[in-house]
Every structure is written in C-alpha cells, then in structure tokens.
Structure 1
Amino acid sequence: MGDLTDAAEPADDNELAIEGALRPAALAEFIGQQKVRGQLQLLLEAARIQQRPADHILLAGPPGLGKTTLAMIVAHESQRPLRMSSGPAIQHAGDLAALLSSLTPGEVLFIDEIHRMARAAEEMLYLAMEDFRIDIMVGKGAGATSIPLDLAPFTLVGATTRSGMLPNPLRDRFGFTGHLEFYEASELEEVVARSATMLEIDLPTSARAEIARRSRGTPRIANRLLRRVRDYLVVHGHDGGRDGTVDVALVDAALDLYDVDSIGLDRLDRAVLDMVVRRFRGGPVGLNTLAVAVGEESDTIESVVEPYLVRIGFLGRSPRGRIAMPEAYAHLGVSHPDGAVTIDDL
C-alpha cells in the first residue's frame, strides 16, 4: 500500500503543475482578445514607467473568457502580489474594510462577480478607490463617530458578467473597462493546441477544429472538453485498433458520451429547445414556466442556457416569452410549422 501511495504523489504534483500551466502567465501568451490585451499592455506599461500602481480595471463579459486569468496577468506583469476575493463573499462593510486594510502597497486586489457585493460595501469602495481611504464608524446612534483610515495604494481588478448591474458611481471609478468578446473558432483552435501541448496530447488539426467547434466560443469550455477527450483516450485509446492518438472519431465518441453535440449544445440546452419546440409548439413561453418544465432554476436558464441559444439564433426573447427560431427546428430535425410565431409577430 505504501508503494501505491508513493507512486501517486508525483502524479498529483504533475497534475497540479499542468493545471497551472493551462493559464497563460503573460499577455504575450494570452490568446484572443487582441483589443483588450493591447489596452492593458499600454495601461501597465504607463504605470511601470511612472512607478505607480496601475489604474483600477473592470473586466466585463460572459463566463469563461479569461477575466480571472487576465487579473493574474496584471499582477504578474506589474510584479505585485495578488489578493483574490469575490462579491458574494463581501456582504458587510466590515468584510471589505478588513480586506482593504490588510493590503500591501501596490498590491492587486481581484474581486470576481463584483456586481454581487453588498450595497454598504460598494459605498465604502467608492472612497477607497478614489482616495485610498475608508471611514470606519465607531459606536451607534447619536454617539457614533467616523474614524478615517488611510489605505496603501492598490489596484482593484473587478470582474463581472453583468456590468449593467453595477451602480454608476462604482463603474465610473474604474480607470479602464475591458469588454471581453466570445472567441472565433480559429482562436479556440489555438487555445486547444496550447493546452494539448501542456497535457502532452498529440492532437491533429482536424481534432482541434472539432473541439473548437463544440466549445461555444469559450476557452474554459474548450479546455474542459479537451480534458474529457484526454480521459477518453486514457481509457479507450488502444481499443478497437486505435494506436493511442486522437482523431476526429475519438473526439466524437468522447463528447457524444458527455452529451455534447456537434455545435456544443449539452443535455440542458437541448431539453430547453425541445420543450419550447414540442411542448409549447414554438412559444412564446415564459421563463418561469420553461424552467419548471425542464426542472431547472430560472436563473440557470437565463444566465447559462439562453445567451448561447440566442447568440446562435436558435431562441428568441420577447416581452411575451421565449420562442423557437427556424434554426432550432432544423437542428432538432422537426418541421417548422406554417404560421408559427416569430419575433416579428410579437
């Protein structure tokens, strides 16, 4: 038993090293988002020349496009330490005060999902971002007093998937806002190729393209699918005459096993489409009704499923509810009924 334990430790260490390697450490290694990369490069270089902390940065965009990775890169290229937190974890002004007062000069503070911070903490952050100072209230009622507390200069990097939920006073205090866009297929192929090298997978161009095509324009999903392909290769790589290399047939077999279809739709995506098309005859159907019908939370449908289905033209949104577009019928192999409701009818 001791031999098995000893043998497992290097493998675990190697796996952790691979996980870290999948995240690029510098802007030069970061694939895609050319405009945001160029803007960040200028901002960081100006701060370095002037020997000051970089301006506060807001990164906005859908999940999985690299906001956390870019925050790590900002700290790395600024040669500053990084402190990480999240909006849901900061529910009281005291939580934020403790976090801010412990920062060292020039430290980079990353707050993920910053739009989910408590309102009292947001209001404290206004002064901290602008003047590097916070006011601590001591006591209650008429005897309460405010004690100013100076903070070390820092750079705040906020990440949000819903920038519209940020109050204007907070948004205005960021010196730079970067809007991350979904990736093109060619960029995702580069992401898959880089990650395959890190994972020591021999991946031909056709297999990279197939994984990229099913990745919904999102690097995080591309890396996730690649790891599932690697798992399938480890278990079945030498079955059925295979020689341990990855080809399109192996990618298809692996991703079909995980219910990821040819354009990246998973089980929940297809369940939503199927429900709108078949049960509700193309819609319109309300979000809450649709969520109950598929047995999922409405927030999940709205924030996880809908954005991609709307982006590829399978689902339409209107004041009366969700409707299935002709492309959805074609993908499900269902005839589009004459006289079906369209966006123009609503």
Structure 2
Amino acid sequence: MSTRTVPTPQDLREAPKVLLHDHLDGGLRPSTVIDLADETGYGGLPTTDVGELSRWFVAAADSGSLETYLETFAHTCGVMQTEEALARVAAECVEDLADDGVVYAEVRYAPELFVERGLSLDAVVEAVQDGFERGRKNAAERGKQIRVGTLLCAMRQHARALEIAELTVRYRDQGVVGFDIAGPEAGYPPTRNLDAFEYIRTSNAHFTIHAGEAFGLASIWEAIQHCGAERLGHGVRIVDDITTGTDGAELGRLAAYVRDRRIPLELCPSSNVQTGAVGSIGEHPVGMLAKLRFRVTVNTDNRLMSDCTVSSEFAALVDAFGFDWADVRWCTINAMKSAFIGFDERLDIIDNVIKPWYAARV
C-alpha cells in the first residue's frame, strides 16, 4: 500500500474522476471563443487577446451575484450559434475532460440558447452529440477513455420546459441521459415547470434541478417534494437546515430527508464562491456535508468562468479540508452511483475503472 495519502495536483489529474455538473457553454477554451467569434461574425467580445479574455471571464464571474455571473454566457452562447461551432465546442469539451482524468461526465446545456441564427432544437442536439462522439474518439486515440452523457436544460425564466423535456425523451437513445432546469432561481421556482417534470417521470426518464444555489431551502424543498428531483444541482443551501454546536450537528427535517434518501448534491465549490453562495472555499459546507455523509459529489459548473477543472476542485478541498485519497474515492463513487446511465454501466465503471485505480492509494 502506498504511504502517500495526501493527493498532489498531478496525482489528482491522473486519478479517474466523475463529473455530473458541467455546462457546455461554460467550458469553452478562450482561444476557441476568439476563433468562433471571428468565424461567425460575433463582435461582442471585450478583447481578442487569449490571456486577457481568460482573465476577463473569471473577473466578470467574480461578482458575488448569480445574475451577474450568468451574464458572461452572452459571449459563449453568442459564438455557438452554428452546427460547426457547437460540434467543435462539444468535441473540445470531451478532450479537455479526458485530459483531466474524467472517465464519466454528464455535460449539460440549454438547446433554446443556440437557435438565434435559425437552428432547430433537434439540429442543436444532433450537432452537440456529433461533437461529443468526435471528442471521445480523439481522446481514445490518445489513450484516454471517457463516457459522456448529455443533460438538456430548460431555462427557468422562459416557457419552453415541456418542449425541452420532450426533446430529452426524443434523444434519450442517442446519448441524452437526462433533463434539468437552469437560470436564475429567485422569482422562478421549479414548480413553474411541473408539467415538464411530470412528462419526464411518466416517460421513465431522469432529471436533476438547479436548486439551493442562490436561493434557500424553499427552492430545495420544492425541487424534491413537489417536482420529484432525483439530484440537486448545487444544493449548497441545505446547510441552512443544519445547526452546529459543541455537541455536533443537528439536522432539520429537510436536511435529514435529503441525507436519508441519499439525494445527490452536485456541489460546485469555486462557482459557489463566485456567485456569493459562500464566502470562500474554506467556508464552503462541502467539508461538513462530507463528514455528515450526505451524498456529496464534486463538480466544476463552468470551467471557463471559474478557471477550474475537477482536479483543481479536489485540490482545493485537499488544501481547505484535508481531503485524502479515501475522500476523493468516496466522492467519485458517489458521483458514479448517481449518474443517469444504466445500472450495469455504472457498476462496470466503478468496479473496473475507479476501484482498481484507488485500491493502491487508500
């Protein structure tokens, strides 16, 4: 057994990891944003210098406001309005995740955001799926194996949730594994989309809901109890239902229900700091939630805006909370158990990819 228990950043890059919460339009390479702006005639970029643009995205996202954070997507979505652009971004996404050691990822996006130049929703989905497959093949040629599932998002401030839910079911045999709603939480409760969630459920399909990021416990409660969410996108505000004291932690009714039911939390530490959900990584409840054995998973949210990878998120948790290999393995298996692909596929990746690699380190 290895005596090295503290994972280094390089070790973490080599480790097999699982990613459940990553936005396609939040993970572009800065150089690709510039290339696509030139190719598609998009003139809204603040700069065309790669280094400056990379820094601009991070700085603009460091606003402490979810609404302001979301404004950065005007530029990434602005350059992703053609099939060629969508396929390129999707392929590069898979390649970048594979290079970071991700062996399974669920990447999400809102098809309705990419129809400004006349693409149909179906054309958007097919272009992205083609790109994902191209990226998988490119990664495999370099010896990197990765499986990618797609989540289709509806924007909660719009009125197309049912339409996107139907799109999800229509393409579930072509790589789309689930449904989500995203966008600003305040003023747009998940119960506005009950018809979409009912359609997904009665179609025996899967869905997660962005809840408990910028808004509080009410959003989480609605997502679970009214809408039937299988997972919580972020869910960080569940901490508001946990009281800590000298005698330990006392869980409120909702927090206890979430833990008892093993409802996965798609936690995104760096993003939560940027949107003001928490003050710093060190103040993030992920450490406490892991100790209390909630079903914690560690995610990127938007790699461009947060200048992060799954590995760097874990490295931050190593520094802030003393995570060791056992913690990284536990979060990774949590995520794989919570994926929206079939049981046999999940078990295969856990037993034949994840556990063998970590066996020598835990």
TM-score (norm. length: structure 1): 0.26
Larger Rg: 1
**Which protein has greater RCO, CA pairs closer than 8 Å, 6+ apart?**
2
TM-score (norm. length: structure 2): 0.25
